[in-house]
Amino acid sequence: MAPPSGNDAGQSGNALDNLLTESRTFPPSAEFAEQANATSDLAERASADREAFWAEQAGRLSWTSDWDQVLDWSAAPFAKWFVGGKLNVAYNCVDRHVDSGHGDQVAIHWEGEPGDSRAITYADLKDEVGKAANALASLGLTAGDRVAIYMPMIPEAIYSMLACARLGLTHSVVFAGFSAEALRSRIEDAEAKLVITTDGQFRRGKPAPLKTAVDEAVAQTPTIQNVLVVKRTDTDVEWTEGRDLWWHDVVDGQSTEHTPESFDSEHPLFILYTSGTTGKPKGILHTSGGYLTQAAYTHHYVFDHKAGEDVYWCTADIGWVTGHSYIVYGPLANRATQVVYEGTPNTPHEGRHWEIVQKYKVSIYYTAPTLIRTFMKWGADIPAKYDLSSLRVLGSVGEPINPEAWMWYREHVGGNRCPIVDTWWQTETGAIMIAPLPGVTACKPGSAMGPLPGIGAKVVDESGVAVGKGGGGYLVLDQPWPSMLRGIWGDEERFRDTYWSRFAEQGFYFAGDGAKYDSDGAVWLLGRVDDVMNVSGHRISTTEVESALVSHAKVAEAAVVGASDPTTGQGIVAFVILRGGATEGGDIAKELRDHVAKEIGPIAKPRQIMVVPELPKTRSGKIMRRLLRDVAENRQVGDVTTLADSTVMDLISSGLNRGS
Ligand code: WTA
């Protein structure tokens, strides 16, 4: 693995130079600091006694039995947090707020894409989750069973997740933009017994079928006993009697009363699949007490959230970890009032997000850099038409945010008054790890600043030695944290190999990201150092797309790279050799792009497909993606001396530059 540099990290060299000479800082205003949840002594308290600090944070939750030990790291890298403690995650996110007299507070202002909306109070949420839990129990599901959730952003998706949590069922949410094949492999890996889905979903103003993909997937997954279907779009569906059930038939008539059972702090809460460096997605496993503690802790401090006052909006989809931790678990544990929006940001017009901010007086807004860059492209005059004065904290997640986008966000969305929290974390970390604390940290445009109190993160060189100010290398986590993954579902060896072998001697968790300290010691994330691409904040592995391409009858070989892209961060560029040495015929690029969409999902469609006669390989047969990235980014091709055949790059370059 090459040491990270600007190019290897997927950011263009120039952007990186700009990043590292960034000198603007934005200290918190006195006014903000005065009311902030975070105070400057937090970090000190955490470092004085980490375990006591985390125990204090776990006190944000209601436990039915106390833990005997904060952390058991004796079986590292498998952690146990709050050992012996018991709680019910759904009770913590729902019932206790009703019990404490906040049943009338709106939990979710749900906004449908076609313009329908629902206000769901905590009392409503308790009833809905109770009914759904009774329904799932009536289907014979018991604690420990796995349930796949393949749904658009409708309230029933959240009810489903919470009903699973309430019963101790382990949910596996699969992004509804993924293909039938992606759903099938995830159901199979987790041996799920139930899929919850919808007839269809609204996408860019039109209903699109969804259950058809489930039908295709479950035809090959014998573990599935039932398919539970919410009617959302009134799309015609095929029906398998005995297996398929309408939500309104099974759930609506249930009692709203459901007594929550307590589960062990380490009881599995969910599996969420994410891309790694091989073709097979990893089922990241999270458990209950530690996960919820850190989700709640970070949501409270990083967003400066005030229950009953703020209106919070995280624009993620529940198909990603951000939706799990910062739509469902963190905010609801903290009794947030939040906006949940079903649709796309430009349906029916490009001001939709700002219209929603204005309508609900959103005060905390959390989104991704790719969307901010899209808003920039659409123009500052669009947000300017709306009243955004309710906003007070802005967040960013998913990929490095470039300083230009940060400054635009600050000025055109935040009115130059809102702190911006750039939050670094991963599916594996479960919750935010590196971010400024609003009210305490002076922010720099483009930097995630530093690890949160209680978190141990550092930048190390090849041999695991911490680099100093101005130095760069690999980001590692050097202390266990409560919401850390507890493994990869069914694959202990892959868990050890992927995260714990690179710096085994030091016992560090290897995040797979390159990072640098600036001269003040602030952390700058530089992108992935492995074969994982980041397209619009979504993780996609090069191997995954390559496997999809070679599964097409016309493709003999394929190599995929992530090339820097002004809007999506990285764009997927594929180099393919066609069977029988064919060069090009028909609309092969379109055919292959559609094939990848079918195999993985539209988010994995290559931006560009180049048909080539050869691929650059080392003598041991490894594809040199670095050289292909040079071609994809229109740069002078780098050092070719380690190629088995050094003329290959000439062959590739001479046949190209026609685009596709
Ligand atoms: C990248 C998303 C820079 C990083 C929560 C990480 C970021 C991967 C940031 C995890 C950020 C996430 N700055 N890079 N603020 N946040 N990343 O699992 O490469 O979908 O390893 O989790 O996204 O992506 P995942």
The ligand 1 atom nearest the CA atom of 396: 15
Buried b vs exposed e over 7-46: b needs ≥16 C-beta within 10 Å? bbbbbbeebbebbbebeeebebeeebbeebbbeeebbeeb
Atom 13 (ligand 1) nearest CA: 400
What does the alpha-carbon distance between residue 560 and residue 579 come to, in Å, rounded to a whole number? 17
Q: Are residues 106 and 227 in the same domain?
A: yes
Domain annotation covers residue 22? no
pLDDT (tens digit per residue) in 467-496: 999 999 999 999 999 999 999 999 999 999
What is the 8-class DSSP label of residue 92?
I
Closest by CA to 292, choosing from 129, 88, 75, is 88
> Residue 576 above 50 pLDDT?
yes
Q: Are residues 240 and 355 in the same domain?
A: yes
Task: Check residue 580 and give its pLDDT.
Answer: 79
- Residue labelled with tokens 């490095």: 400
What does the alpha-carbon distance between residue 453 and residue 432 come to, in Å, rounded to a whole number? 11
Q: Which two tokens stand for residue 393?
A: 């904290």
Interval between CA 477 and ligand 1 midpoint (Å): 14
513 assigned ligand-binding residue: yes
Q: Are residues 210 and 118 in the same domain?
A: yes
Low-confidence winner among 285-294, 515-524, 650-659 (lowest mean pLDDT): 650-659
Low-confidence winner among 258-272, 369-383, 609-623 (lowest mean pLDDT): 609-623
259 assigned ligand-binding residue: no
What is the 8-class DSSP label of residue 451?
B
Domain annotation covers residue 44? yes
- The ipTM (two decimal places) reads 0.99
Over residues 602-626, the mean pLDDT reads 88
Instruction: Answer whether the bond into residue 77 is a cis peptide, omega within 30°.
Output: yes
Over residues 134-151, the mean pLDDT reads 98
**DSSP E strand stretches across 399-453:** 420-423
- pLDDT band at residue 654 using 50, 70 and 90 as cut-offs: confident
Over residues 86-96, the mean pLDDT reads 98
The answer to whether the beta carbons of residues 401 and 422 sit under 8 Å apart is: yes
426 assigned ligand-binding residue: yes
- pLDDT band at residue 581 using 50, 70 and 90 as cut-offs: low
Handedness of CA 464, 286, 449, 562 (dihedral sign): positive
Q: Are residues 394 and 296 in the same domain?
A: yes
DSSP SS3 for 455: coil
The ligand 1 atom nearest the CA atom of 428: 18
The CATH number of the domain holding residue 561 is 3.30.300.30
Atom 10 (ligand 1) nearest CA: 426
Ligand 1-lining residues (CB < 6 angstroms): 274, 320-322, 397-400, 422-427, 448, 511-513, 525, 527-528, 534, 539
Count of domains forming the chain: 2
536 assigned ligand-binding residue: yes
The answer to whether the beta carbons of residues 404 and 373 sit under 8 Å apart is: no
Over residues 215-219, the mean pLDDT reads 98
550 assigned ligand-binding residue: yes
Domain annotation covers residue 502? no
* Among 421, 455, 489, residue at a domain's last position: 455
* Among 398, 429, 455, residue at a domain's last position: 455
Q: Are residues 271 and 367 in the same domain?
A: yes
Mutation to probe ligand 1, out of 315, 424, 447, 541 (largest number of atoms < 8 A from CB):
424
60 assigned ligand-binding residue: no
The ligand 1 atom nearest the CA atom of 512: 21
Domain annotation covers residue 260? yes
The answer to whether the beta carbons of residues 628 and 612 sit under 8 Å apart is: no
Interval between CA 207 and ligand 1 midpoint (Å): 31
> Residue 326 above 70 pLDDT?
yes
Domain annotation covers residue 498? no
Task: Check residue 12 and give its pLDDT.
Answer: 38
Amino acid at 628: L
Domain annotation covers residue 371? yes
pTM over 0.80: yes
What does the alpha-carbon distance between residue 201 and residue 208 come to, in Å, rounded to a whole number? 5
* Among 455, 482, 510, residue at a domain's last position: 455
Closest by CA to 229, choosing from 317, 157, 318, 142, is 157
555 assigned ligand-binding residue: yes
Task: Check residue 8 and give its pLDDT.
Answer: 36
What does the alpha-carbon distance between residue 290 and residue 57 come to, in Å, rounded to a whole number? 10
Q: Which two tokens stand for residue 220?
A: 């090959």
Task: Check residue 277 and give its pLDDT.
Answer: 78
Interval between CA 450 and ligand 1 midpoint (Å): 15
- pLDDT band at residue 412 using 50, 70 and 90 as cut-offs: very high
Q: From the CA atom positions of the chain, what is the Rg in Å?
A: 24
Atom 22 (ligand 1) nearest CA: 426
Interval between CA 403 and ligand 1 midpoint (Å): 17
What does the alpha-carbon distance between residue 628 and residue 638 come to, in Å, rounded to a whole number? 10
> Residue 184 above 70 pLDDT?
yes
The CATH number of the domain holding residue 272 is 3.40.50.12780
Task: Check residue 9 and give its pLDDT.
Answer: 35
Atom 3 (ligand 1) nearest CA: 400
Task: Check residue 20 and give its pLDDT.
Answer: 57
pLDDT (tens digit per residue) in 4-61: 333 333 333 444 545 556 779 999 999 999 999 999 999 999 999 999 999 999 999 9
Task: Check residue 657 and give its pLDDT.
Answer: 46
Length of the chain: 660
Over residues 345-365, the mean pLDDT reads 97
- Domain hosting residue 450, numbered range: 30-455
Interval between CA 555 and ligand 1 midpoint (Å): 32
Atom 11 (ligand 1) nearest CA: 424
What does the alpha-carbon distance between residue 656 and residue 637 come to, in Å, rounded to a whole number? 13
Mutation to probe ligand 1, out of 373, 534, 538, 541 (largest number of atoms < 8 A from CB):
534
Task: Check residue 660 and give its pLDDT.
Answer: 41
* Type and span of the H or E element at 369: helix 369-378
